[in-house]
Amino acid sequence: MTKNKENVPAKAVESLFNKVSNLIEQARVRVAAAMNVAEVYTKYQIGRLIVEDEQKGKYRAEYGKQILSKLSERLLSTYESGWTVDTLKRCRFFYRIYCPQQIGATVLPQSEVLPDFTLSWSHYLVLMRIKNADERRFYEIEATSGNWSVRELQRQYGSSLYERLALSWDKEQVARLSRVGNVVEKPEDIIKNPVTLEFVGLKPDASYSESKLESAIIGKLQDFLLELGKGFLFEARQKRFSFDEDNYYVDLVLYNRLLQCYVLVDLKVDKLTHQDLGQMQMYVNYYDRYVKQDFEKPTIGILLCKEKKDTLVKLTLPEDANIYASAYELYLPDKKLLQAKVKEWVNEFENAR
Q: Write out pLDDT tens, residues 226-275.
A: 777 777 888 888 888 887 778 888 888 889 888 888 988 887 767 778 88
Nearest-angstrom CA–CA distance, 127 and 91: 13
Q: Which of 83, 103, 93 is nearest to 124 (CA)?
A: 93
- Provide the pLDDT for residue 197: 59
Burial 225-254 (b: 16+ CB within 10 A, else e): bbbbbbbbeeeebebeeeeeeeeeebbbbb
- Provide the pLDDT for residue 160: 77
- Contact between 230 and 186 (Cβ < 8 Å): no
Cβ atoms within 10 A of the Cβ of 33, count? Answer: 12
- Provide the pLDDT for residue 94: 94
- Provide the pLDDT for residue 302: 83
What is the pLDDT tens value at each position of the chain, 353 positions in all?
445 556 767 777 788 888 888 888 888 877 877 888 888 999 999 999 888 887 775 555 566 678 888 888 888 888 877 888 899 999 999 999 998 765 344 444 555 567 889 899 999 999 998 888 888 988 898 888 888 888 888 878 877 778 777 766 555 555 556 555 655 656 666 555 556 555 555 444 444 456 666 666 666 667 777 777 777 888 888 888 887 778 888 888 889 888 888 988 887 767 778 888 888 888 889 999 999 999 998 898 888 776 666 677 777 777 777 787 776 554 445 556 556 655 654 555 455 44
Nearest-angstrom CA–CA distance, 277 and 262: 17
Burial 99-123 (b: 16+ CB within 10 A, else e): beeeeeeebeebeeeeeebebbbeb
- Provide the pLDDT for residue 251: 84
Q: What is the 3-state secondary structure (H, E, C) of 299-341?
A: CEEEEEEEECCHHHHHHHCCCCCCEEEEEEECCCCCHHHHHHH
| Centroid of chain to Cα 285 | 31
Nearest-angstrom CA–CA distance, 144 and 133: 17
Query: Residue 275 in 3-state DSSP?
Result: helix
Query: Residue 242 in 3-state DSSP?
Result: strand
Which amino acid appears at position 88 of this protein? L
Could you tell me the pTM of the whole model?
A: 0.54
| Centroid of chain to Cα 339 | 17
- Provide the pLDDT for residue 342: 58
Nearest-angstrom CA–CA distance, 38 and 261: 40
Residue 213, C-beta contacts closer than 8 angstroms, at least 6 positions apart: 197, 200, 202, 267, 269
Residue 170, C-beta contacts closer than 8 angstroms, at least 6 positions apart: none
Q: What distances in angstroms separate CA 343 from CA 136, 309, 340, one per listed residue?
A: 15, 24, 5
Q: What distances in angstroms separate CA 234 from CA 240, 257, 313, one per listed residue?
A: 15, 11, 26
Q: Any bridge partners for residue 271, and if so which? A: 307
Residue 275, C-beta contacts closer than 8 angstroms, at least 6 positions apart: none
- Provide the pLDDT for residue 91: 93
- Provide the pLDDT for residue 205: 47
| Centroid of chain to Cα 234 | 18
Cβ atoms within 10 A of the Cβ of 213, count? Answer: 21
- Cis, peptide link before residue 194, omega less than 30° from 0: yes
- Provide the pLDDT for residue 105: 45
Side-chain-side CA neighbours of 103 within 13 Å: the count stands at 3
Cβ atoms within 10 A of the Cβ of 219, count? Answer: 12
Nearest-angstrom CA–CA distance, 176 and 144: 17
- Provide the pLDDT for residue 127: 94
